[in-house]
Amino acid sequence: MKNKKAILFGLAGGSGSGKTLVARNLFRRIDSTKVSIIEQDSYYKDLGDIPMTAREQHNFDHPEAFDWDLMRENMADLLAGKTVDIPIYDYKTHTRSDKTQTISGHHIIMLEGILVLADAKLREMMDIKAFVDTDDDVRFIRRLQRDTQERGRTMESVIEQYQRSVRPMHLQFVEPTKRFADIIIPEGGHNTVAIDLLQTKINALLQEMENESE
């Protein structure tokens, strides 16, 4: 951890597994002024150069859907204590917004997303790696509710996308990254024992970082 100004916590798992709830529960338990939650979805590639019909058929669950170079660059800068402008993604138009989210001075960076453990270089930056493991049917129901209520999708389009790309990509790319995790969390944010363990580990890393800076 020498010379690092922050801790990078990678939180992976399938779509609808409960990653966000895990992150939020940890956020509430730790000094919120020290924590920043970054969604991997922020790094979706901008699809503004292709027709809307093609954007809607795009495979958002494949590793190539993400801008890995920018993600690595931003995480490295945050760990070095620099100020970073995180992209904001517009799910309705599948483009990157002109606005950004500025992050600076946080000691704990939580990077959460379906494939955050898929990239070896990114994993090397992480101090903690966790995978949220939830049954397929539960994940599908959560995704259906989220996409129809929050992202303006129709039920038919969510089901079609799940069958076409979400499920096969989960089996091919997301599920295999479980082997890289330091801890596997069944049932997501409702697993209080796992949350306790993560909180204890994060606090220990924070103390170690503070001791090294003295």
Statement: residue 1 has pLDDT above 60 = no
Mean pLDDT of all residues belonging to the chain:
90
Rounded to an integer, the average pLDDT of 13-32 is 87
Q: Which one, of 171, 170, 147, 160, lies nearest residue 61 by Cα?
A: 170
Statement: residue 2 has pLDDT above 70 = no
pLDDT in tens, 120-175: 999 999 999 999 998 889 889 988 998 898 887 889 988 998 898 889 999 999 99
d(CA 209, CA 214): 9
Neighbours of 172 (CB within 10 A): 12
Per-residue model confidence (pLDDT) at position 102: 95
- Indicate the burial class of 70 (C-beta count within 10 angstroms; 0-12, 13-18, 19 or more): middle
Question: What's the whole-model pTM score?
Answer: 0.89
**Is the alpha carbon torsion for 142, 191, 30, 80 positive or negative?**
negative
Strand partners, 129: 10
pLDDT in tens, 51-92: 888 888 888 989 999 999 999 999 999 999 999 999 999 888
Full set of structural domains in the chain with CATH: 7-198 (3.40.50.300)
